[in-house]
Structure 1
């Protein structure tokens, strides 16, 4: 009689909050059943960048500088051009973030954007097309005054993309308190592809009484563009005092506060990852919730914002993982369009 084969544990249900125990091992926390499991996933052991569409961009080492999109749910890969000269220019996901302009399956013009949050540099590549290559761009969206290292004086620094999301083949970002910037790439993905910027005036959101600061998140969901604000009250900047969700009204244009996002759950990522959404019913979750990982505290804490009653609850996922972690935690979800 053949010896019994050891049982291979099934993967926990998506979506997952991924914590890094080390560069090669992870802890996967499922918000569907509140369980955590250890894993060792090669695709997220090197340079990788999560996206709001579930696909993860993986960049290989030199000299090949391979690049591909990876579906963590099915294991499917979409090969992209080798990075060549751009390969050694791009920092890892402690400093850079990545967006897809569209659903890679539904859109023949889908593009991949990597952007540096420290310097105004970005890299772009079309997913489909024979002439596609990785292109490097510098951009200028203005400057701002920030405190120097001693916090005794202000110095001028170039602005970079901070709150940004993809929507209808464009990238939208907060340019100023009352202006939304727009970025799109014109061309077939070859060497002559140009970056084109625009902007539109919008009425900015009002802070609740007593709130002195906020973390901002932008995302596309269900064919609409949303802004989520997590508010803080001085002197406590470790725990939020409130939250609000706003939907873009393009007819004005203006941000409109809403307390109903339908059969959806918003998943707010760390500052170097794209925020996303998923179907609540398909994932076995309560609808109309916003999940947010608090990066302002030493121990990772997961907040649940309930749009139905305004309640805020907390969960400490993946207890025992190191803090600070070797890399930022991120949401892993089935690769699909947020619009579905």
Structure 2
């Protein structure tokens, strides 16, 4: 079943759709010459509409867990943050060349919080308010201040992957340096960008507002990744997502048994205890719903206000379906689109309220 294309009539092409956030967006091309359109699924009521959102068709755009989208005009290099629910725009410094990495993710840091106590003393200025783009294929970060910034800053980083490659036999040079790993998942909490450096190490990036130019400082601490408790030892594959909820850092783990990722054995949610530097399992996340997507995208939103099931994890990943996992009782549901989805021009993505 196909739906008729709706012309844009509001911030998200239709005011009726905008009231049904969060939305799962399927981006695809159709027609000759091809035009980009969006089919949007409201997971709250299962409704779907095919629309054309000019902002998503005419510019390069990156969704964020904070509900905003980074928009880049590749021709002029102009950049801004766009709120798809209200249409509000916040101007950003121009981007030289106007090109984003082919595979990247974007975050917007908290603009009002003080840094956690473990990061700095109380008399240190608040963290900077930043837009951060991290490349999924190279160890590079691209960021700018949201207000008052002079331009975008590119910064490389080096993550120690903890692997030493011995030198060739007969040589005395010692271990050969390994290439730096890249950040694959990140969450912005109270002005700090957290990422998983390894299975047992969490990294944190932050920039203070009193710096003349924004620059990211990096610190790490040990925090072992949770594992699935099993009666008999088996090979377990874990896929993890970092996210912010109620100004706390959460981790969601999808546990798979065996060498295949076709079947999720269990879904676990954990909150970071910064005093003990450890992940604490939780089954009650209050009136929150966690939204997971491709590329380790993860966000949180109020459930009741937006017609979602409280205490659930909504997963949209390798297919067009939405998997709903209830954390308290361990049950799960499957929501399938009510209409056929054409071949997509990019992976489905969430628009968060």
The alignment's TM-score, normalised by the length of structure 1, stands at 0.84
Which structure carries more relative contact order (alpha carbon 8 Å, separation 6+)? 1
Contact 2:291 2:314 in 1 (8 A): yes
Unaligned runs of 5+ in 2: 1-6, 30-34, 115-125, 164-176
In the alignment, which residue of structure 2 is the partner of 1:311? 331
Residues 1-340 of structure 1 mapped to structure 2, 5 A cutoff = 10-12=15-17, 13-22=20-29, 24-45=36-57, 46-62=59-75, 64-85=76-97, 87-88=98-99, 90-92=100-102, 95-103=103-111, 109-129=128-148, 131-143=149-161, 156-187=178-209, 192-209=213-230, 210=234, 212-271=236-295, 274-295=297-318, 299-317=319-337, 319-323=339-343, 325-334=344-353
- How many residues of Structure 1 are paired with residues of Structure 2 in the alignment? 308
Alpha-carbon distance between aligned partners in 1 of 2:191 and 2:264, rounded to the nearest angstrom: 33
RMSD: 2.5
Contact 1:265 1:277 in 2 (8 A): yes
Is the Cα–Cα contact under 8 Å of residues 27 and 345 in structure 2 kept in the other structure? yes
Separation in structure 2 between the aligned mates of residue 189 and residue 57 of structure 1, nearest angstrom:
24
Q: 1:270–1:318: structure 2 CA closer, same or farther, 3 Å change rule?
A: farther
Taking the aligned partners of 2:235 and 2:64, their CA distance within structure 1 comes to 30
Assess if the C-alpha contact under 8 Å between 2:194 and 2:204 holds in 1.
Answer: yes
Contact map agreement 1:58 1:69 (CA 8 A) in 2: yes
SS at structure 2 position matched to 1:193: coil
Normalised to the residue count of structure 2, the TM-score between the two structures is 0.81
Tell me how far apart the structure 2 counterparts of residues 286 and 117 of structure 1 sit (CA, whole Å).
31
Whole-angstrom distance in 2 between the partners of 1:188 and 1:133: 16
Q: Does the C-alpha gap of structure 1 residues 302 and 103 become closer, same or farther in structure 2, counting only changes over 3 Å? A: farther
SS in 2 for 1:231: strand
Deviation at 1:183, TM superposition (A): 0.6
1:133-181 deviations in Å (ceiling 9; x for gaps) = 1111111112477xxxxxxxxx954211112111111111111111110
CA distance in structure 1 between the partners assigned to 2:314 and 2:71 by the alignment? 25
- In structure 2, distance between residues paired with 1:35 and 1:242: 28
